[in-house]
Structure 1
Amino acid sequence: MIANVLTIAGTDPSGGAGIQADIKAISALGVYACSVVSAVVAQNTCGVRSFQALAPELVADQIDAVLEDVRIDAVKIGMIANAGIAEAVADRLRHHGARNIVLDPVMVAKSGHALLDPEAVFALRERLVPLAAVITPNLPEAAVLLNRPDDWSLDAMKAALPALLALGSDYVLLKGGHLAGEDSTDLLAGPEGTRAFTAPRIRTTCDHGTGCTLSSAIAALLPHHPMPEAVARAKAYLQAALAQGHRLEVGRGHGPVHHFHALWGSEG
Protein backbone atom coordinates (compact mmCIF):
# COMPACT_ATOMS: atom_id res chain seq x y z
CA MET A 1 0.00 0.00 0.00
CA ILE A 2 1.29 3.47 -0.91
CA ALA A 3 0.78 5.66 2.15
CA ASN A 4 -0.71 9.16 2.06
CA VAL A 5 0.97 11.80 4.22
CA LEU A 6 -0.32 15.31 4.93
CA THR A 7 2.05 18.19 5.58
CA ILE A 8 0.84 21.39 7.26
CA ALA A 9 3.46 24.11 6.86
CA GLY A 10 4.52 27.44 5.42
CA THR A 11 5.87 27.97 1.92
CA ASP A 12 9.36 28.51 0.51
CA PRO A 13 9.52 30.04 -2.98
CA SER A 14 13.11 28.84 -3.38
CA GLY A 15 11.96 25.26 -2.82
CA GLY A 16 14.45 24.18 -0.19
CA ALA A 17 12.44 24.36 3.01
CA GLY A 18 8.86 24.50 4.22
CA ILE A 19 6.04 22.77 2.43
CA GLN A 20 8.03 22.42 -0.79
CA ALA A 21 10.78 20.50 1.01
CA ASP A 22 8.16 18.40 2.77
CA ILE A 23 6.52 17.36 -0.49
CA LYS A 24 9.90 16.53 -2.04
CA ALA A 25 11.05 14.40 0.91
CA ILE A 26 7.74 12.56 1.18
CA SER A 27 7.68 11.89 -2.56
CA ALA A 28 11.33 10.80 -2.68
CA LEU A 29 10.52 8.12 -0.11
CA GLY A 30 7.75 6.65 -2.24
CA VAL A 31 4.79 8.19 -0.42
CA TYR A 32 1.94 10.36 -1.73
CA ALA A 33 2.02 13.91 -0.34
CA CYS A 34 -0.99 16.10 0.46
CA SER A 35 -0.48 19.63 1.76
CA VAL A 36 -2.13 22.40 3.76
CA VAL A 37 -0.57 25.88 3.65
CA SER A 38 -0.44 27.71 6.99
CA ALA A 39 1.52 30.78 5.88
CA VAL A 40 2.95 32.30 2.71
CA VAL A 41 6.62 33.07 3.31
CA ALA A 42 8.83 35.33 1.20
CA GLN A 43 12.21 33.65 1.58
CA ASN A 44 15.17 32.33 -0.36
CA THR A 45 18.49 30.68 0.44
CA CYS A 46 19.71 33.92 2.03
CA GLY A 47 16.89 34.34 4.52
CA VAL A 48 13.29 35.23 5.26
CA ARG A 49 12.00 38.62 4.14
CA SER A 50 8.43 38.47 5.43
CA PHE A 51 5.47 36.16 5.86
CA GLN A 52 1.71 36.33 5.96
CA ALA A 53 -0.16 33.81 8.06
CA LEU A 54 -3.40 32.51 6.60
CA ALA A 55 -6.67 32.90 8.47
CA PRO A 56 -7.13 30.02 10.93
CA GLU A 57 -10.53 29.31 9.36
CA LEU A 58 -8.90 28.81 5.95
CA VAL A 59 -6.27 26.49 7.41
CA ALA A 60 -9.04 24.50 9.12
CA ASP A 61 -11.05 24.33 5.89
CA GLN A 62 -8.02 22.99 4.00
CA ILE A 63 -7.55 20.27 6.62
CA ASP A 64 -11.22 19.31 6.44
CA ALA A 65 -11.11 19.25 2.64
CA VAL A 66 -8.26 16.73 2.68
CA LEU A 67 -9.28 14.53 5.60
CA GLU A 68 -12.92 14.26 4.54
CA ASP A 69 -11.78 12.81 1.21
CA VAL A 70 -8.35 11.21 1.52
CA ARG A 71 -7.12 8.45 3.84
CA ILE A 72 -4.23 10.10 5.66
CA ASP A 73 -1.73 7.72 7.25
CA ALA A 74 0.54 10.31 8.88
CA VAL A 75 0.70 14.07 9.39
CA LYS A 76 3.70 16.39 9.55
CA ILE A 77 3.19 19.79 11.19
CA GLY A 78 5.74 22.51 10.53
CA MET A 79 5.28 26.29 10.67
CA ILE A 80 2.03 27.27 12.37
CA ALA A 81 2.82 31.01 12.74
CA ASN A 82 0.33 31.97 15.47
CA ALA A 83 -1.91 30.72 18.25
CA GLY A 84 -5.07 30.85 16.15
CA ILE A 85 -3.61 28.47 13.57
CA ALA A 86 -2.28 26.19 16.32
CA GLU A 87 -5.76 25.97 17.84
CA ALA A 88 -7.37 25.34 14.44
CA VAL A 89 -4.89 22.62 13.50
CA ALA A 90 -5.26 20.87 16.86
CA ASP A 91 -9.05 21.05 16.71
CA ARG A 92 -9.37 19.62 13.20
CA LEU A 93 -6.77 16.89 13.63
CA ARG A 94 -8.42 15.77 16.86
CA HIS A 95 -11.85 15.88 15.19
CA HIS A 96 -10.68 13.64 12.34
CA GLY A 97 -8.72 11.26 14.58
CA ALA A 98 -5.44 11.91 12.78
CA ARG A 99 -2.60 9.56 13.71
CA ASN A 100 1.17 9.32 13.32
CA ILE A 101 1.55 13.07 13.87
CA VAL A 102 5.10 14.40 13.57
CA LEU A 103 5.47 17.89 15.03
CA ASP A 104 8.47 19.98 14.02
CA PRO A 105 8.16 23.03 16.31
CA VAL A 106 9.38 25.59 13.77
CA MET A 107 10.13 28.82 15.61
CA VAL A 108 13.11 30.50 13.95
CA ALA A 109 14.45 30.29 10.40
CA LYS A 110 18.12 29.45 9.82
CA SER A 111 18.63 33.16 9.08
CA GLY A 112 17.35 34.04 12.56
CA HIS A 113 13.96 35.38 11.46
CA ALA A 114 11.18 34.53 13.96
CA LEU A 115 8.49 32.31 12.40
CA LEU A 116 6.26 31.88 15.45
CA ASP A 117 4.50 34.57 17.46
CA PRO A 118 5.45 34.44 21.17
CA GLU A 119 1.78 33.93 22.07
CA ALA A 120 1.73 30.81 19.90
CA VAL A 121 4.34 28.96 21.95
CA PHE A 122 1.79 28.23 24.69
CA ALA A 123 -0.78 26.97 22.17
CA LEU A 124 1.82 24.78 20.46
CA ARG A 125 2.99 23.35 23.77
CA GLU A 126 -0.46 22.77 25.24
CA ARG A 127 -2.55 21.85 22.18
CA LEU A 128 -0.29 20.33 19.53
CA VAL A 129 2.49 18.55 21.43
CA PRO A 130 0.07 16.19 23.24
CA LEU A 131 -1.33 15.07 19.86
CA ALA A 132 2.09 14.17 18.48
CA ALA A 133 3.60 10.75 18.08
CA VAL A 134 6.96 12.54 18.05
CA ILE A 135 8.25 16.10 18.33
CA THR A 136 11.54 17.02 16.65
CA PRO A 137 12.94 20.17 18.29
CA ASN A 138 16.43 21.44 17.71
CA LEU A 139 18.24 22.84 20.74
CA PRO A 140 17.03 26.47 20.51
CA GLU A 141 13.46 25.21 20.06
CA ALA A 142 13.79 22.86 23.02
CA ALA A 143 15.01 25.78 25.13
CA VAL A 144 11.84 27.71 24.27
CA LEU A 145 9.57 24.72 24.91
CA LEU A 146 11.14 24.20 28.34
CA ASN A 147 11.65 27.90 29.12
CA ARG A 148 15.30 27.25 29.89
CA PRO A 149 18.57 28.90 28.80
CA ASP A 150 19.81 28.01 25.34
CA ASP A 151 23.09 26.55 26.57
CA TRP A 152 23.55 22.89 25.77
CA SER A 153 25.90 19.96 26.01
CA LEU A 154 25.25 16.30 25.26
CA ASP A 155 24.71 15.69 28.98
CA ALA A 156 22.26 18.61 29.12
CA MET A 157 20.38 17.11 26.18
CA LYS A 158 20.02 13.81 28.00
CA ALA A 159 18.90 15.56 31.17
CA ALA A 160 16.21 17.52 29.28
CA LEU A 161 14.52 14.50 27.73
CA PRO A 162 12.20 13.67 30.67
CA ALA A 163 10.88 17.24 30.77
CA LEU A 164 10.30 17.21 27.01
CA LEU A 165 8.47 13.89 27.22
CA ALA A 166 6.36 15.28 30.05
CA LEU A 167 4.89 17.78 27.56
CA GLY A 168 2.83 14.90 26.22
CA SER A 169 4.17 13.44 22.97
CA ASP A 170 4.87 9.71 22.68
CA TYR A 171 8.47 10.30 21.57
CA VAL A 172 10.95 13.16 21.49
CA LEU A 173 13.73 13.44 18.92
CA LEU A 174 16.06 16.11 20.31
CA LYS A 175 18.40 17.21 17.55
CA GLY A 176 21.95 18.11 18.51
CA GLY A 177 23.13 19.76 15.32
CA HIS A 178 23.78 23.07 17.09
CA LEU A 179 26.50 21.52 19.25
CA ALA A 180 30.12 21.77 18.14
CA GLY A 181 32.25 18.79 17.21
CA GLU A 182 33.11 16.45 14.36
CA ASP A 183 30.00 14.34 15.02
CA SER A 184 26.36 15.31 15.37
CA THR A 185 24.15 13.41 17.82
CA ASP A 186 20.36 13.29 18.00
CA LEU A 187 18.58 11.60 20.91
CA LEU A 188 15.31 9.69 20.55
CA ALA A 189 13.44 9.17 23.82
CA GLY A 190 10.27 7.13 24.20
CA PRO A 191 8.73 4.00 25.71
CA GLU A 192 11.75 1.87 24.81
CA GLY A 193 14.18 4.25 26.52
CA THR A 194 16.71 6.52 24.84
CA ARG A 195 18.60 5.85 21.63
CA ALA A 196 21.42 7.99 20.27
CA PHE A 197 21.89 8.59 16.55
CA THR A 198 25.42 9.81 15.88
CA ALA A 199 26.77 10.62 12.44
CA PRO A 200 29.81 12.48 11.09
CA ARG A 201 29.07 16.18 10.71
CA ILE A 202 28.88 17.12 7.03
CA ARG A 203 30.59 20.45 6.41
CA THR A 204 28.36 22.04 3.80
CA THR A 205 26.40 25.20 3.11
CA CYS A 206 23.70 23.10 1.44
CA ASP A 207 21.69 22.69 4.62
CA HIS A 208 18.56 24.73 3.93
CA GLY A 209 15.45 22.87 5.11
CA THR A 210 17.14 20.09 7.06
CA GLY A 211 14.59 20.14 9.88
CA CYS A 212 11.65 20.18 7.47
CA THR A 213 13.17 17.33 5.50
CA LEU A 214 13.89 15.13 8.51
CA SER A 215 10.45 15.51 10.08
CA SER A 216 8.73 14.88 6.73
CA ALA A 217 10.85 11.80 6.14
CA ILE A 218 9.85 10.42 9.54
CA ALA A 219 6.17 11.02 8.71
CA ALA A 220 6.61 9.28 5.36
CA LEU A 221 8.15 6.23 7.02
CA LEU A 222 5.91 5.92 10.08
CA PRO A 223 2.99 4.17 8.35
CA HIS A 224 5.23 1.16 7.66
CA HIS A 225 7.85 1.24 10.43
CA PRO A 226 7.95 1.55 14.24
CA MET A 227 9.22 4.89 15.47
CA PRO A 228 12.89 3.96 16.14
CA GLU A 229 13.20 2.38 12.69
CA ALA A 230 11.42 5.29 10.99
CA VAL A 231 13.80 7.75 12.66
CA ALA A 232 16.86 5.68 11.74
CA ARG A 233 15.80 5.47 8.09
CA ALA A 234 14.87 9.16 7.98
CA LYS A 235 18.25 10.10 9.45
CA ALA A 236 20.05 8.01 6.83
CA TYR A 237 18.01 9.65 4.07
CA LEU A 238 18.82 13.15 5.33
CA GLN A 239 22.52 12.34 5.76
CA ALA A 240 22.72 11.28 2.10
CA ALA A 241 20.68 14.30 0.98
CA LEU A 242 23.10 16.59 2.84
CA ALA A 243 26.13 14.86 1.36
CA GLN A 244 24.76 15.28 -2.16
CA GLY A 245 23.52 18.86 -1.80
CA HIS A 246 26.59 20.21 -3.62
CA ARG A 247 25.26 18.70 -6.86
CA LEU A 248 22.58 21.38 -6.94
CA GLU A 249 23.23 25.02 -7.82
CA VAL A 250 20.40 26.84 -6.07
CA GLY A 251 20.89 30.32 -4.63
CA ARG A 252 23.76 32.28 -3.13
CA GLY A 253 23.17 31.43 0.54
CA HIS A 254 22.40 28.18 2.30
CA GLY A 255 21.42 25.91 -0.56
CA PRO A 256 18.94 23.03 -0.26
CA VAL A 257 19.71 19.43 0.49
CA HIS A 258 19.31 17.07 -2.48
CA HIS A 259 15.95 15.45 -1.81
CA PHE A 260 16.10 13.32 -4.95
CA HIS A 261 19.72 12.21 -4.65
CA ALA A 262 18.78 8.54 -5.05
CA LEU A 263 16.57 9.15 -8.10
CA TRP A 264 18.52 11.59 -10.27
CA GLY A 265 21.65 9.52 -10.84
CA SER A 266 25.15 10.02 -9.46
CA GLU A 267 26.60 12.40 -12.05
CA GLY A 268 26.69 16.18 -11.47
Structure 2
Amino acid sequence: MVLDTLQKLLITMVVFLPLEHFLPRLKDKKIFRKNWSLDSCYALISPFIISASIVFVIVLASLVIDPILPARIKEIIASQHLIIQVVEIIIIADIGYYFVHRMFHEIPLLWKLHAIHHSIEEMDWLAAHRVHPIDQILTRGLSLIIPFTFGFSAAAIAMFFVLSGWHSYLKHSNINIRFGPLRWILVSPTYHHWHHANEEHAFDKNYAGQLPIIDIIFGTAIMKETSGPTYYGTDTPVPKSYVGQLLLPFKLLKPQKKSAPLKTEDASLSGQ
Protein backbone atom coordinates (compact mmCIF):
# COMPACT_ATOMS: atom_id res chain seq x y z
CA MET A 1 0.00 0.00 0.00
CA VAL A 2 2.95 2.32 0.67
CA LEU A 3 4.23 1.84 -2.86
CA ASP A 4 0.73 2.38 -4.28
CA THR A 5 0.41 5.66 -2.40
CA LEU A 6 3.81 6.87 -3.59
CA GLN A 7 3.02 5.82 -7.15
CA LYS A 8 -0.30 7.70 -7.15
CA LEU A 9 1.35 10.82 -5.75
CA LEU A 10 4.11 10.66 -8.34
CA ILE A 11 1.63 10.32 -11.21
CA THR A 12 -0.47 13.18 -9.85
CA MET A 13 2.62 15.34 -9.47
CA VAL A 14 3.70 14.64 -13.05
CA VAL A 15 0.26 15.71 -14.30
CA PHE A 16 -0.40 18.78 -12.17
CA LEU A 17 2.99 20.44 -11.70
CA PRO A 18 3.36 21.27 -15.43
CA LEU A 19 -0.26 22.48 -15.61
CA GLU A 20 0.21 24.73 -12.58
CA HIS A 21 3.46 26.03 -14.03
CA PHE A 22 2.21 26.83 -17.54
CA LEU A 23 -1.42 27.70 -16.70
CA PRO A 24 -1.24 29.27 -13.24
CA ARG A 25 -4.06 31.24 -11.68
CA LEU A 26 -1.62 32.88 -9.26
CA LYS A 27 1.66 33.28 -11.12
CA ASP A 28 3.98 33.99 -8.20
CA LYS A 29 3.24 30.77 -6.28
CA LYS A 30 6.19 28.46 -5.71
CA ILE A 31 6.16 24.65 -5.81
CA PHE A 32 7.71 24.42 -2.35
CA ARG A 33 5.36 26.99 -0.89
CA LYS A 34 4.43 27.53 2.74
CA ASN A 35 3.18 24.33 4.43
CA TRP A 36 4.33 22.13 1.53
CA SER A 37 5.85 19.67 4.02
CA LEU A 38 2.65 19.67 6.13
CA ASP A 39 0.51 18.74 3.14
CA SER A 40 3.04 16.09 2.12
CA CYS A 41 2.58 14.45 5.52
CA TYR A 42 -1.17 14.36 4.95
CA ALA A 43 -0.65 12.88 1.48
CA LEU A 44 1.74 10.17 2.67
CA ILE A 45 0.37 9.18 6.08
CA SER A 46 -3.35 9.97 6.31
CA PRO A 47 -4.57 7.59 3.53
CA PHE A 48 -3.73 4.56 5.68
CA ILE A 49 -5.79 5.85 8.62
CA ILE A 50 -8.66 7.00 6.41
CA SER A 51 -9.00 3.87 4.26
CA ALA A 52 -9.14 1.47 7.21
CA SER A 53 -11.61 3.65 9.10
CA ILE A 54 -13.97 4.14 6.14
CA VAL A 55 -14.08 0.36 5.65
CA PHE A 56 -15.02 0.06 9.33
CA VAL A 57 -17.84 2.63 8.95
CA ILE A 58 -19.20 0.90 5.83
CA VAL A 59 -19.10 -2.55 7.47
CA LEU A 60 -21.07 -1.23 10.46
CA ALA A 61 -23.60 0.40 8.13
CA SER A 62 -23.95 -2.85 6.18
CA LEU A 63 -24.75 -4.78 9.35
CA VAL A 64 -27.66 -2.42 9.96
CA ILE A 65 -28.91 -1.98 6.37
CA ASP A 66 -28.51 -5.47 4.87
CA PRO A 67 -31.17 -7.18 7.02
CA ILE A 68 -33.84 -4.57 6.18
CA LEU A 69 -33.02 -3.73 2.54
CA PRO A 70 -35.21 -5.63 0.03
CA ALA A 71 -33.09 -7.86 -2.20
CA ARG A 72 -35.03 -6.59 -5.22
CA ILE A 73 -33.49 -3.12 -4.83
CA LYS A 74 -29.98 -4.56 -5.04
CA GLU A 75 -30.95 -6.64 -8.06
CA ILE A 76 -32.33 -3.61 -9.93
CA ILE A 77 -29.25 -1.51 -9.18
CA ALA A 78 -26.83 -4.31 -10.09
CA SER A 79 -28.61 -4.88 -13.41
CA GLN A 80 -28.03 -1.30 -14.58
CA HIS A 81 -25.30 -0.33 -17.05
CA LEU A 82 -21.96 0.58 -15.47
CA ILE A 83 -22.12 4.22 -16.61
CA ILE A 84 -25.62 4.68 -15.18
CA GLN A 85 -24.41 3.29 -11.86
CA VAL A 86 -21.45 5.68 -11.83
CA VAL A 87 -23.70 8.68 -12.52
CA GLU A 88 -26.07 7.59 -9.75
CA ILE A 89 -23.18 7.18 -7.31
CA ILE A 90 -21.89 10.67 -8.14
CA ILE A 91 -25.33 12.18 -7.47
CA ILE A 92 -26.03 10.18 -4.29
CA ALA A 93 -22.53 10.68 -2.87
CA ASP A 94 -22.51 14.41 -3.55
CA ILE A 95 -25.89 14.97 -1.93
CA GLY A 96 -24.56 13.17 1.14
CA TYR A 97 -21.28 15.08 0.92
CA TYR A 98 -23.13 18.42 0.74
CA PHE A 99 -25.03 17.88 3.98
CA VAL A 100 -22.12 16.38 5.95
CA HIS A 101 -19.83 19.16 4.68
CA ARG A 102 -22.39 21.79 5.64
CA MET A 103 -22.68 20.19 9.08
CA PHE A 104 -18.91 20.63 9.53
CA HIS A 105 -19.35 24.34 8.85
CA GLU A 106 -22.43 24.95 11.01
CA ILE A 107 -21.63 22.93 14.15
CA PRO A 108 -18.94 24.86 16.09
CA LEU A 109 -17.05 21.80 17.39
CA LEU A 110 -16.90 20.21 13.94
CA TRP A 111 -15.91 23.51 12.36
CA LYS A 112 -12.81 23.72 14.58
CA LEU A 113 -11.75 20.39 13.07
CA HIS A 114 -12.74 21.31 9.51
CA ALA A 115 -10.85 24.59 9.89
CA ILE A 116 -7.69 22.54 9.29
CA HIS A 117 -8.74 22.16 5.66
CA HIS A 118 -9.66 25.83 5.47
CA SER A 119 -6.29 26.87 6.88
CA ILE A 120 -4.92 26.45 3.34
CA GLU A 121 -3.62 29.86 2.25
CA GLU A 122 -2.02 28.78 -1.03
CA MET A 123 -4.19 26.52 -3.14
CA ASP A 124 -2.68 23.78 -5.28
CA TRP A 125 -3.19 20.10 -6.05
CA LEU A 126 -1.25 18.96 -2.96
CA ALA A 127 -3.37 21.09 -0.61
CA ALA A 128 -6.33 18.81 -1.38
CA HIS A 129 -4.84 16.34 1.11
CA ARG A 130 -4.97 18.69 4.12
CA VAL A 131 -8.06 17.22 5.76
CA HIS A 132 -8.12 15.76 9.27
CA PRO A 133 -8.70 11.98 9.11
CA ILE A 134 -11.84 12.23 11.27
CA ASP A 135 -13.21 14.91 8.94
CA GLN A 136 -12.47 12.72 5.92
CA ILE A 137 -13.82 9.54 7.53
CA LEU A 138 -17.16 11.11 8.46
CA THR A 139 -17.56 13.03 5.21
CA ARG A 140 -16.56 10.16 2.94
CA GLY A 141 -17.98 7.35 5.05
CA LEU A 142 -21.44 8.86 5.56
CA SER A 143 -21.77 10.02 1.95
CA LEU A 144 -20.85 6.58 0.60
CA ILE A 145 -23.05 4.38 2.77
CA ILE A 146 -25.74 4.01 0.08
CA PRO A 147 -23.35 3.26 -2.82
CA PHE A 148 -21.60 0.61 -0.73
CA THR A 149 -24.71 -1.06 0.69
CA PHE A 150 -27.35 -0.84 -2.06
CA GLY A 151 -25.78 -3.22 -4.54
CA PHE A 152 -23.73 -0.93 -6.78
CA SER A 153 -20.97 -2.88 -8.54
CA ALA A 154 -17.37 -2.78 -7.37
CA ALA A 155 -16.38 -1.50 -10.83
CA ALA A 156 -18.80 1.44 -10.57
CA ILE A 157 -17.57 2.36 -7.10
CA ALA A 158 -13.94 2.08 -8.23
CA MET A 159 -14.64 4.32 -11.23
CA PHE A 160 -16.29 6.86 -8.93
CA PHE A 161 -13.21 6.94 -6.69
CA VAL A 162 -10.92 7.51 -9.67
CA LEU A 163 -13.07 10.32 -11.08
CA SER A 164 -13.70 12.04 -7.74
CA GLY A 165 -10.03 11.72 -6.76
CA TRP A 166 -8.73 13.42 -9.90
CA HIS A 167 -11.50 16.00 -9.70
CA SER A 168 -10.50 16.82 -6.11
CA TYR A 169 -6.94 17.54 -7.24
CA LEU A 170 -8.24 19.67 -10.10
CA LYS A 171 -10.63 21.80 -8.04
CA HIS A 172 -7.92 22.59 -5.47
CA SER A 173 -5.24 23.22 -8.09
CA ASN A 174 -3.65 26.53 -9.02
CA ILE A 175 -4.74 26.18 -12.64
CA ASN A 176 -6.34 29.03 -14.56
CA ILE A 177 -9.00 27.13 -16.45
CA ARG A 178 -12.51 28.26 -17.31
CA PHE A 179 -15.31 25.68 -17.50
CA GLY A 180 -17.71 27.91 -19.43
CA PRO A 181 -21.25 26.44 -19.49
CA LEU A 182 -19.83 23.25 -17.91
CA ARG A 183 -19.50 25.19 -14.63
CA TRP A 184 -23.24 24.65 -14.07
CA ILE A 185 -22.71 20.88 -14.19
CA LEU A 186 -19.29 20.29 -12.62
CA VAL A 187 -17.43 22.10 -9.83
CA SER A 188 -14.55 24.07 -11.36
CA PRO A 189 -11.32 25.18 -9.65
CA THR A 190 -12.62 28.76 -9.41
CA TYR A 191 -15.90 27.54 -7.92
CA HIS A 192 -14.13 25.57 -5.20
CA HIS A 193 -11.56 28.31 -4.60
CA TRP A 194 -14.45 30.55 -3.57
CA HIS A 195 -15.34 27.97 -0.93
CA HIS A 196 -11.84 28.46 0.50
CA ALA A 197 -11.98 32.26 0.35
CA ASN A 198 -11.33 34.19 3.56
CA GLU A 199 -13.76 36.86 2.41
CA GLU A 200 -16.99 37.39 4.34
CA HIS A 201 -19.38 37.30 1.38
CA ALA A 202 -18.03 33.84 0.46
CA PHE A 203 -18.29 32.23 3.90
CA ASP A 204 -20.33 29.01 3.98
CA LYS A 205 -20.82 28.86 0.22
CA ASN A 206 -20.10 26.27 -2.49
CA TYR A 207 -20.33 23.18 -0.29
CA ALA A 208 -20.86 20.73 -3.16
CA GLY A 209 -17.97 18.48 -4.04
CA GLN A 210 -18.84 17.86 -7.67
CA LEU A 211 -22.31 19.13 -8.60
CA PRO A 212 -22.98 22.90 -8.29
CA ILE A 213 -26.71 22.31 -8.83
CA ILE A 214 -26.94 21.10 -5.21
CA ASP A 215 -25.63 24.46 -3.95
CA ILE A 216 -27.94 26.28 -6.35
CA ILE A 217 -30.98 24.38 -5.05
CA PHE A 218 -30.15 25.17 -1.42
CA GLY A 219 -29.08 28.77 -2.02
CA THR A 220 -25.41 28.35 -1.14
CA ALA A 221 -23.79 28.91 -4.55
CA ILE A 222 -21.39 31.60 -5.72
CA MET A 223 -21.10 31.29 -9.49
CA LYS A 224 -18.22 33.75 -10.10
CA GLU A 225 -16.23 32.06 -12.85
CA THR A 226 -14.36 35.08 -14.24
CA SER A 227 -12.40 35.81 -11.06
CA GLY A 228 -11.25 33.94 -8.00
CA PRO A 229 -10.82 35.13 -4.42
CA THR A 230 -7.99 37.37 -3.26
CA TYR A 231 -7.66 36.00 0.26
CA TYR A 232 -7.60 32.37 1.39
CA GLY A 233 -7.47 30.66 4.77
CA THR A 234 -9.36 31.09 8.03
CA ASP A 235 -9.12 33.23 11.14
CA THR A 236 -9.92 30.18 13.31
CA PRO A 237 -6.75 29.13 15.21
CA VAL A 238 -5.28 25.86 13.91
CA PRO A 239 -2.16 23.98 15.14
CA LYS A 240 0.82 24.44 12.82
CA SER A 241 2.28 20.91 12.80
CA TYR A 242 0.88 17.67 11.38
CA VAL A 243 1.00 15.96 14.79
CA GLY A 244 -0.63 18.98 16.43
CA GLN A 245 -3.44 18.93 13.88
CA LEU A 246 -3.82 15.16 14.18
CA LEU A 247 -4.23 15.46 17.97
CA LEU A 248 -6.62 18.42 17.76
CA PRO A 249 -9.78 16.33 18.48
CA PHE A 250 -8.34 15.26 21.84
CA LYS A 251 -7.68 18.90 22.69
CA LEU A 252 -11.19 19.92 21.66
CA LEU A 253 -12.81 17.16 23.74
CA LYS A 254 -10.62 17.75 26.79
CA PRO A 255 -12.66 19.33 29.60
CA GLN A 256 -11.73 22.97 30.04
CA LYS A 257 -10.64 24.04 33.50
CA LYS A 258 -12.91 26.63 35.01
CA SER A 259 -11.11 29.75 36.09
CA ALA A 260 -11.50 30.81 39.72
CA PRO A 261 -14.04 33.59 40.26
CA LEU A 262 -12.53 37.03 40.53
CA LYS A 263 -12.71 38.60 43.96
CA THR A 264 -14.50 41.88 44.21
CA GLU A 265 -12.65 44.86 45.56
CA ASP A 266 -14.74 44.82 48.76
CA ALA A 267 -14.11 41.14 49.36
CA SER A 268 -10.38 41.54 48.90
CA LEU A 269 -10.30 44.48 51.30
CA SER A 270 -12.22 42.57 53.96
CA GLY A 271 -9.67 39.78 53.80
CA GLN A 272 -6.70 42.05 54.52
The TM-score range, normalised by the shorter chain, is: under 0.3
Q: TM-score, normalised by structure 1?
A: 0.25
More helix by share: 2
- Please identify the structure whose Cα radius of gyration is greater: 2
Larger relative CO (CA 8 A, sep 6+): 1 or 2?
A: 2
Q: TM-score, normalised by structure 2?
A: 0.25
